[in-house]
Amino acid sequence: MTVIFSKTCELGLQAVLFLSIKKQQRIFNALEISQELKVPKEYVSKVLQILTESGIVGSKKGKSGGFYLAKSPSQIKLIDIVEAIDGLELFNNCVLGFPGCSKEAPCPVHDKWGKLRDDAYKMLSEETLEQLKEKTLHKIINI
């Protein structure tokens, strides 16, 4: 469990990383993905539909239908997936939820959270899925 992203976003990140290590343009149905990631098929379908609407994932209907990456792994960063599912408010709002939290009127953890928030955004924005392929291969195989 993470305190930063929703469970839906975590699954979206895992599903897109899974698709990124597979043969380009191969179509996987929700059952195949759910079995690989060990999560319910219906949940995988819901999350991948969100990512289809954002243009990160493509889908094909019908008997041989399923999901695939709509873009090359070299064009997708983790921040794109986070933005599509959870949005970027996490990186702009007060972590404690105080309205008007700013440098001039900081909350109790404003300075510490600001650095963590900026570091997290940078980390999610730096590397593409292509660059994360080797680490992803090792992790997905061990799920």
Topology annotation, domain 7-141: Arc Repressor Mutant, subunit A (1.10.10)
| pLDDT at site 64 | 85
Task: Give the Cα separation of 133 and 84 in Å (integer).
Answer: 21
List, in sequence order, every residue forming a beta bridge with 66; answer none if it has no partner.
Answer: 60
**Around Cβ 80, how many Cβ atoms within 10 Å?**
20
Task: From first to last of the 143 residues of the chain, give the pLDDT tens digit.
Answer: 456 899 999 999 999 999 999 877 789 999 999 999 999 999 999 999 999 999 999 999 988 889 999 999 999 999 999 999 999 998 988 888 899 998 899 999 999 988 999 999 999 999 999 999 888 877 776 55
What pTM value is reported for the model? 0.88
- Helix 30-37 crosses helix 7-20 at what angle (to 10 degrees)? 110
| pLDDT at site 1 | 43
The dihedral through the CA atoms of 59, 26, 54, 141 has a sign that is positive
Contact 68, 60 (CB under 8 A): yes
At residue 40, what are phi and psi to the nearest 5 degrees?
-60, 140
Task: Give the Cα separation of 63 and 60 in Å (integer).
Answer: 9
**Around Cβ 72, how many Cβ atoms within 10 Å?**
12
Task: Give the Cα separation of 128 and 134 in Å (integer).
Answer: 12
